Structure 1
Amino acid sequence: MTYANTIALNRPFVETVGMVREALGAQGFGILTEIDVTATFTAKLGADAAESVGDYLILGACNPPLAHRAITADPDMGVLLPCNVVVRRGRGASETIVQAIDPATMVQLSGRPGMQEIADEVDGKLRAALASLAAAEGR
């Protein structure tokens, strides 16, 4: 089983990050957290470590109504939230990669009643966001 849905865009990293934010917002997701892996690696491990990953950003996306349903169905689900969306581009790469967690992973870990339905809704919204990015790319 894969644990991420992935697309590649022929756009610069910063432009792609803006597009991802808009696409997620259109599906009811807000960004609760933002981890600039490149900056963190630079500060903690040095420039070589940052260079090895290139531009790398993790966005913690949350759709509050769906998160509420998930936590209500399984209070332990909070350890898997928010939904991570990664935007990354290796040094010298020609494409920027966008990845969103596959919510089926959460269902496999929980097994609680109702989680499959919630995960299917989250998956539909995340896939719609990725599809809108691909459509903007002409794919």
Structure 2
Amino acid sequence: MGFALSTVLHTSFDDAVTRTREALAGQGFGVLTEIDMQATLKAKLGEDMEQYLILGACNPPLAHRAVDVNRQIGLLLPCNVVVRADPANEAAVLVEAMDPQVLVDVTGEEQLKPVADEVAAKLRAAIDSLQN
């Protein structure tokens, strides 16, 4: 089983980030955290890498349902969505989200399956809308 929902965009990195934020918002997700891996690795380690942004997305009603099933699920929240330049193709930007079914697999908590299914459907809808 793969662990990512993803798409490839042929646009600028900044446009991909803007469109991803809008697509997530359209599915009820807010971005709680943002990690600029490129800037962080350059500042902390002096290492260069392609543009790589991790967005911590949260849909509060769904997060609440998941935490009600298992309080430890917060260790796996928020949903990470990565927007990154494709090092193999400078004209492409990858947008990837963790498949929420991984939460069910990791925890073994079958009661999380309906929540994970709903989160997956919303993330898939957001990612699919990027192609329009």
**Structure 2 length normalisation: TM-score?**
0.95
RMSD of aligned alpha carbons = 1.1
Match of 2:77 among 73, 78, 81: 81
Q: Segments of 4+ in structure 1 off by > 4 A?
A: none
Percentage of matched positions with identical amino acids: 50
| CA-CA distance at 1:14 after TM superposition | 0.4
Matched, 1:133 2:101: no
Instruction: Single out whichever of 66-75 and 84-93 deviates more from structure 2.
Output: 84-93
Q: Structure 2 stretches of 5 or more lacking a match?
A: none
| CA-CA distance at 1:112 after TM superposition | 2.1
The code of the aligned residue for 2:112 comes to M
Conserved in 2, the CA contact under 8 Å of 1:9 and 1:97? yes
Distance 2:108 2:86 in 1: 36
Q: Structure 1 stretches of 5 or more lacking a match?
A: none
The code of the aligned residue for 2:97 comes to A
Show the counterpart of 1:19: 19
SS in 2 for 1:134: coil
Matches within 5 A, 1:45-124: 45-46=45-46, 49-50=47-48, 53-90=49-86, 93-124=90-121
Write 1 or 2 for the structure with the bigger share of helix.
Answer: 1
SS in 1 for 2:114: helix
The code of the aligned residue for 1:24 comes to L
1:86-122 superposed Cα distances (whole Å, 9 cap, x missing partner): 0000456110000011001000012224200000000
Conserved in 2, the CA contact under 8 Å of 1:73 and 1:113? no
